[in-house]
Structure 1
């Protein structure tokens, strides 16, 4: 009697895992087997619990991933990059990738998100800021979704561990252990995703490009006669190239099928002409 129950439990857990994003994924086997009256009594409680779970999500602080890019002009590139790294460290961050020469360079630092705006403003004392851009990406919904999936996956892993302890035969142990390993790997992947998002929210990324001369933004191409002529010539070359490719693709078929067809057509016309001449004679 214990083996069928164990197989049924594994099957139920597999079904629950495929629908972890639905509203009914958290229903246990006991709730599913409960009579209709009991289910009706539990419905208001589940609805209140769902509202209590959604309320903190709506009221919580928005989780933002912040990044900034600054172009800086300085007579001493190496000194400016060193000053930027020191200020990032003093703000509670750290320096990341750096690539610098005597005339130009760049450095990427990670600083607490709350310190990003102040650090960008203070860069004016390091050199001449020619361009500054700050961006924010809201990942609140992603974090809420990942945390909900982690909670569901943890419950699934715990239930599988209980079934693993109750397994009696080698086949049961192998099947439950395989499913448990799969669920555990998925849980660890979700946890790494959550930690990565939280890390990006906690620490903003600042990239500073430093040069001895102002870094000019790329100029858009101005339309003119020469540019229009060049564009038309490129279009013509492209069309001719396409035609040549099509001819090259059709030519083998013409050689194989066209030549015999032409010979047959020539013989038929000659025979018809000879027949007419005989009839006239």
Structure 2
């Protein structure tokens, strides 16, 4: 009996262990299913909320992309790598303005540049030509010296502007703006409603416009740093400088007044010369006609006076028969 009771207790213990193991396994499977369901619902909710929080996602994605691209590498700011804009102006007095202008054009062409502007005032001795030269920055000093040797240099002014920091800042802003544009495009591709689509399209258009503006500024700076500008004034032997034109004083005023008087008299004589043929053609016959009329008037005047001054004649009275 004792042996049989012990066997029955062992069987019950094994059954309880099996049931406990089975319950534990079922609980683990249920827990795994719940976790998967929660993670799936979270991912679905995130996908549904992405277009609704488009602006926040745009900002976060843009900041992350910008941070990754901005730290790619530091710019090289050595002296030979700096962005410098060279500008210059000079005035050269020459004998033949047109011939010298052709020589200046040849100098610029040899240096790899071109003529950006050409204004001339043709005259014999006081001719003036103003040329705007665009030459590579590396040939700036060489072109200035060659142009100065074409005549007698009267003035020269050279200016430089270091735009390295502005260029580096502009490049960084362009990289950041490109990352923001790419982020907006990715979110636009995942938009699932008309409202989100319109909002993201407007935001993308604004960011693309800002990017185009930054790129245009970069091209402008690149053009100014790659090609320097030289304004050359070629003056004839009798051409006056700006200082001579700005002279003041009594003698200058007297000279100006005399020149104005001579000019006025010249204009007056010119007008009289133009009117003289008309005066001869119409003035002489008119003068003759006036003289004839005046003579006739003088002849009529004494006869009319005599008739007026003579007393009236009274008829004589007849005598009575």
TM-score normalised by length of structure 2? 0.56
Q: Is 2:98 the partner of 1:78?
A: yes
Tell me, yes or no, if structure 1 residue 165 matches structure 2 residue 189: yes
| Alpha carbons 2:107, 2:146 under 8 Å: kept | no
Unpaired runs of 5+ residues, structure 2, are 1-44, 250-321
**Larger Cα Rg: Structure 1 or Structure 2?**
2
For residue 60 of structure 1, report the CA deviation from its aligned partner. Answer: 6.7
Q: 1:15 to 1:78 in 2, by over 3 A?
A: farther
- 1:229 — aligned with what? none
For 1:188, which of 203, 212, 217 is the aligned residue? 212
Q: 1:15 to 1:222 in 2, by over 3 A?
A: farther
* 1:5 aligned onto 2:50: yes
Residue 243 (structure 2) aligns with: 218
Deviations 1:110-155 (A, max 9, x none): 0001111011111133211111111110000110010000000001
Corresponding residue for 1:108? 132
The reply on whether 1:88 has 2:90 as its aligned counterpart is: no
Is the partner of 2:215 in helix, strand or coil?
helix
Please tell me whether the aligned partners of residues 10 and 160 of structure 1 are also in contact (alpha carbons under 8 angstroms). no
Partner in structure 1 of residue 66 of structure 2: 26
Change (3 A) 1:60 1:8: farther
Preserved CA contact (<8 Å) 1:77 1:100: no
Aligned equivalent of 1:65: 85
Given that residues 116 and 132 in structure 2 are in contact (C-alpha distance below 8 angstroms), is that contact kept between their aligned partners in structure 1?
Answer: yes
Match of 1:238 in 2: none
Helix, strand or coil at the partner of 1:98:
strand
Tell me the distance in 1 between the aligned counterparts of 2:48 and 2:204.
Answer: 18
Deviations 1:94-118 (A, max 9, x none): 1011111231110101000111101
Q: Partners of 1:199 and 1:70 in 2: how far apart?
A: 22
Aligned to 2:180: 156
Structure 1 residues 221 and 78: CA distance shift in structure 2, 3 A = closer
RMSD value, Cα = 3.0
Q: Deviation per CA, 1:144-192, whole angstroms, max 9, x where unpaired?
A: 0100000000011111111011011111111111100110010011001
Task: Give the whole-Å Cα distance in 1 for the aligned partners of 2:148 and 2:78.
Answer: 38
TM-score normalised according to structure 1 size: 0.63
CA contact (8 A) 1:164 1:173 kept: yes
Name the counterpart of 1:131.
Answer: 155
1:59 to partner: Cα distance: 7.2
